[in-house]
Structure 1
Amino acid sequence: MCRWLAYSGEPIQLSKLILDTQNSLVAQSLNSPLGAETVNGDGFGVGWYPKDAVDGTPPAFFHSIEPAWHDENLREITHAIESPLFFAHVRAAAGPPIQQTNCHPFRHENWLFMHNGSLAGMNLVRRDLALAVAPEFYPLIRGTTDSEVLFYLALTLGLRDDPVAGMAAAIRKVEEVGHAHGVEFPMQGTVAVSDGAMVWAFRYSSQGRTRTLFHSIAMATLQEMYPEQARLRGFGKNARVIVSEPLSDLPGAFVEVPEATVAILEQGQYRHEPFLANAE
């Protein structure tokens, strides 16, 4: 469906991961070996928190309907901006039109959200899911994607208080509504959420066959494993990245996030927790 990455650590130029790595996000937009679609050229988006952000600072974002490999503004922006935490996403549209309001990541207050996957049978369940969004959030839905509805449904169900519980409640609602309309496997995808300090990355599908999700190992370990790799020297000890697919072919650099798991990244450390493992 799409490809995405989330970075947290010492401030870096966005271009280091979006443009410059061996299998960068822009490279994946042209050729995604592990993706459901090889080409992800239906727009892109970047959301970033400023270097001097304090708790509650909202992120900035840039969306474009251009293919990521074709947009000169993306190169200008990613070389000019440094951030300690950013999201980037390249889109392969699966129905909703190609327009800026349908590009990820989505933003509300200090929260960022992006999704790779789909809510099956959206033409059947859209109305019920939209009506389940709280009245104060419903007018904020600007696009037509299932992903944006999922975000505001999660906000309705407590994402800001407890991201894991809020996402779990939203996905349970998606499955409940989907099953009521005869949709066998309503939820598919990987989701990234951040409040500007932490990152939560979810891998879950109703079928138990979710899109791929990986995260990097500790940067100090990686630099010790590959001291000859000059490209690794520009990253600090807390640099971590969560990705739809690895950004390089260095053996051992990335580990796969298990099915039905949330990977939580806080202060340079990962932990994995089961997520809706017994939902079906």
Structure 2
Amino acid sequence: MCRWLAYTGDPIYLDTLITQPDHSLVQQSLNSRLNFNNAGQLLSTNGDGFGIGWYDQRKVPGVFKDEIPAWHDKNLANLCHHIQARTFMAHVRASTTGDIQRTNCHPFSYKNWLFQHNGQVSHFAKVRRELQMAIAPELFPCLHGNTDSETLFLLAITYGLMDKPKLALQRTVEKVLDTLVPFDEDGAVNLSFAISDGDTLYALRFSHNEAPMTQFYSTDAACMKDFNKGKVPDIPNGCTIVVSEPLDDINAKWQSIENNTFTTIKNNKVVCETFLN
């Protein structure tokens, strides 16, 4: 299980969300408050790597990631202090599948797309071959790691993510369920995605046979103001932040996204709709 955030709006420095808040993503890599496994145990540490991806003036996003803990990397803090972006995402990893290595760190990228995930596909080692055989042959060389997350991303691209994101993710989830359920009818699929092409930010919260990963969003420019006592610069009006857990206290400025919800965010308009009927 992992923690992540995504932002879209007027350009801001990445450290405004990733390192500066009292409960920033880097702090969550050490002390998560809402990252519970299916047994109800709190997984407070997310130290199996990190990554950031951002869009500025170029169509293809920048990506920086490493397998060391986020709190231990001074380069991350330095880059976040100097990079401004209109859309970006960041991720701290607690591995459930895949080795602790850079190729397994999020976000994953393909052309102008970024993708990050919190959750799991249970029994992935046993269903991996069938899922990966469904990846388009021309995309298979893009598979560099051994996580369920990267496989899901490439499956989504295979099924049309770049043209119809919601439909592609529906087909991806249906493929996973069709593969997993005959193997184990009690198998779990737990998906909390952030995805972007640089112009639109998408999020998915979906769970099958397991308590869903938490997911929140805020369009309130003052969403962190009270908690951080003025230490963090104001967030611009007309922005949207999506998080695994709030960067401050949980309050009315953060809206919980329901399970089985596909969210589309563009120009500060947030549209939440049922994912699978």
| TM-score, reference length from structure 2 | 0.93
Q: Are 2:26 and 1:26 aligned? A: yes
Residue 252 of structure 2 aligns to a residue whose secondary structure is coil
Question: What amino acid does structure 2 have at the position aligned with 1:39?
Answer: T
**1:54-203 pair list within 5 angstroms:** 57-203=59-205
Q: RMSD of aligned C-alpha atoms?
A: 1.8
Aligned counterpart, 1:236: 236
Cα displacement (A) at 1:233 = 5.3
Q: Are 2:41 and 1:39 aligned? A: no
d(CA) in 2 for partners of 1:75, 1:44: 12
Residues 144-192 of structure 1, C-alpha deviations (whole Å, 9 max, x = no match): 1010000000100111111111111001000000012225234112011
Residues 6-35 of structure 1, C-alpha deviations (whole Å, 9 max, x = no match): 011111110110001121000100011100
Q: Is the 8 A contact 2:61 2:113 kept in 1?
A: yes
d(CA) in 1 for partners of 2:21, 2:232: 10
Q: Structure 2 stretches of 5 or more lacking a match?
A: 37-42
Cα displacement (A) at 1:222 = 5.1
Q: List, as ranges, runs of 4+ consecutive aligned residues in structure 1 with deviation greater than 3 Å.
A: 228-233
Q: Is the 8 A contact 1:96 1:144 kept in 2?
A: yes
d(CA) in 1 for partners of 2:156, 2:218: 27
Residue 272 of structure 2 aligns to a residue whose secondary structure is strand
Q: Is the 8 A contact 1:120 1:183 kept in 2?
A: no
d(CA) in 2 for partners of 1:48, 1:217: 19
d(CA) in 2 for partners of 1:247, 1:122: 31
Q: Is the 8 A contact 1:7 1:240 kept in 2?
A: yes
The structure-2 alpha-carbon separation of the partners of 1:193 and 1:98, relative to structure 1 and needing over 3 Å to count, comes to same
Residue 273 of structure 1 aligns to a residue whose secondary structure is strand
Q: Is the 8 A contact 1:96 1:102 kept in 2?
A: yes
Residue 63 of structure 2 aligns to a residue whose secondary structure is strand
d(CA) in 2 for partners of 1:238, 1:64: 32
Cα displacement (A) at 1:43 = 0.4
d(CA) in 2 for partners of 1:47, 1:21: 19
Cα displacement (A) at 1:68 = 0.5
